[in-house]
Amino acid sequence: MTESVVRSNLPTWEDTMSSSGDRRGRRGRPDWTDIAFFAVLAAGAAYVLTGYGQFMDYYEKAILVGAVGLFSWMAWLWRPLRTLMIASGLSALLAIWLYSPTGELLQGDLSRAQTNFLLQYLLSSQSAILWMCALFALATISYWIGFASRTAAWLGTVLTWSAVYAGVTGLLVRWREGHLLGPDIGHIPVSNLYEVFVLFSLITALFYLYYERRYATRALGGFVLLVISSAVVFLLWYSFTRDAYQIQPLVPALKSWWMKLHVPANFIGYGTFSLAAMVGFAYLVKEHGQTVQRRRLIPVFILGAVLCAEPMMFGSRELSATWMLYFGLGALIVGGILACRAPIARRLPPLEILDDIMYRAIAVGFAFFTVATILGALWAADAWGTYWQWDPKETWALIVWLNYAAWLHMRLMKGLRGTMAAYWALGGLLVTSFAFLGVNMFLSGLHSYGEL
């Protein structure tokens, strides 16, 4: 199958980037700014351990110390993360001070979120997350307009970074708000569907922004932001129909330090798998935009339609007006993309580049998903006395793992490339989505605390 194999005599994208002198995304030697950033993080961790160490157990202290090294390393690998962490951290500290203007950090007044201008409209967790949702939606529109205007594409990047900044700030402030509600209520904000949908959106966007700079293209922004916008639609619906934005005490099964490791690792996998699926969609649009064989377009449309139809039954066994409208708009968007595939294809990167991004995203996601699965098994042994019980969530996590393990095996051992790899990555999103949401919607088990 010649179309699925990249010929060895073709230069790789990395060769092209290096020969042109472009080293986007490549780390340089640590400089004084990296050392200063590490020192700031270390000083902050020392302050927390000194002032509030009595409220933390051994594992939480170890996670805090490890986070200093991890974030410093990540900021060195990709320096824009440093700017994001500093900006979001300063904004969160401002919000914390506004909640506790007297300086008593162990006390605060949540009612100030209704009276203080900055908290009410910008810095409270709910306000910041709503800004994140709005900015992601505007970024999606800008990226698609960017196929006709480079300025709009640049604006899409700016709006995406702004959305990530708002979302990270919102999660940090939400963490503080939980502790202000009561000593037994505060927890890391990754415990329910509302919080993990915010986390999913942020992780997916950050990985996209990395690849956008690494490969010097904004043409994929519209594709990747579609899946983020879908998450935003669900997040808004879930927030206002279920009051999901309210902070609730943790159920007993989640009162564990394992959650701080398992959930973020899990959603790095979900985010990168989703990114790879949308890059696979872009690959198919690019490929079919270069051919006049209309019959080959039918499978692309079917997969796109299924992707848009999947959320139609959130929360109910019956079709709701909200999700019928969502399905209609989704079908129009996918149909519009397919109808305009020829001009879109001309702006997309070469097929080998799309294939490479798809592979890298799945490889990263698979590594983190493997770690998350192992951590989940250890957590299960700690909480329930056994590593594996074939709970529906566990079973579908294994299915997801096997799906991408097979994808990587076929690529590394059998040379899987091109069209088949793209179809598989796009279809894999259905498997991943069911493991993420479908289990919560239709099945029950030990993970029923996350049901809709």
Query: For 100-124, where are the alpha helices, taking DSSP H only?
Result: 117-118
Task: Enumerate residues 6+ apart whose C-beta is below 8 A from 91.
Answer: 123, 165, 169
Residue 200: what pLDDT? 96
At 63 the three-state DSSP class reads helix
Angle, helices 193-214/221-242, rounded to nearest 10 degrees? 170
d(CA 75, CA 408) in angstroms, rounded, equals 28
Q: Which two tokens stand for residue 35?
A: 């050392």
Sequence ranges of the domains in the chain: 251-452
Read off the pLDDT of residues 294-337 as tens digits, 9 standing for 90 and up.
445 545 555 555 555 555 444 445 556 676 677 777 777 887 88
Q: What is the pTM of this model?
A: 0.88
Contacts of 170 (CB under 8 A, 6+ apart): 125, 126, 127, 128, 129, 131, 132, 198
The two tokens of residue 376 are 């989940």
Q: Which residues are within 8 A (CB) of 435 and not within 5 positions of it... i.e. 6 or more apart?
A: 393, 396, 397, 399, 400
Q: What would the two tokens of residue 285 be? A: 């649009």
Question: Does residue 419 contact residue 357 with C-beta atoms inside 8 Å?
Answer: no
Cβ(268)–Cβ(224) under 8 Å?
no
Residue-wise over 14-41: b if at least 16 C-beta within 10 A, else e? Answer: eeebeeeeeeebeeeeeeeebeebbebb
How buried is residue 10: exposed, middle or buried, by Cβ count under 10 Å (0-12/13-18/19+)? exposed
Query: Could you give the CA distance from residue 292 to residue 305 in angstroms, rounded to a whole number?
Result: 21
HSE of 184, CA atoms in CB hemisphere, 13 A: 3
Yes or no: say if 76 and 34 are a contact pair by the CB < 8 Å rule: yes
State the DSSP H helix or E strand holding residue 302, giving kind and residue range, or none if neither. helix 298-309
Distance CA 372, CA 366 (A): 10
Q: Which amino acid is at 80?
A: P
Question: What is the per-residue pLDDT across 400-427, written as a single tens digit (0 to 9) for each?
Answer: 999 999 999 999 998 888 899 999 999 9
Burial 302-328 (b: 16+ CB within 10 A, else e): ebbeebbebbbebbeeeeeeebeebbe
pLDDT of residue 8: 38
Q: Phi then psi for 36, rounded to 5 degrees?
A: -65, -40
What is the model's pLDDT at position 380?
A: 83
H helices of 121-192, in order, are: 125-145, 150-181
Q: Tens place of pLDDT for every residue, the chain, 452 residues?
A: 444 443 334 344 444 443 333 344 456 688 899 999 999 999 999 998 998 888 888 888 998 999 999 999 999 999 999 999 999 999 999 999 999 877 666 678 888 889 999 999 999 999 999 999 999 999 999 999 999 888 999 999 999 999 999 999 999 999 999 988 887 788 889 988 899 999 999 999 999 999 999 999 999 999 999 999 999 998 998 888 888 888 888 887 778 888 888 999 999 999 999 999 999 999 999 988 776 544 455 455 555 555 555 554 444 455 566 766 777 777 778 878 888 888 899 899 999 999 999 999 999 999 999 999 999 888 888 877 778 888 888 889 999 999 999 999 999 998 888 899 999 999 999 999 988 887 777 666 555 555 55
Q: Which residues, including other chains, have CB under 8 Å from residue 364's CB and lie 6 or more apart?
A: 207, 268, 272
Q: How many residues does the chain have?
A: 452
Contact 271, 204 (CB under 8 A): yes
Q: How far apart are CA 26 and CA 210, in angstroms?
A: 11
CA 112/CA 108 separation, integer angstroms: 9
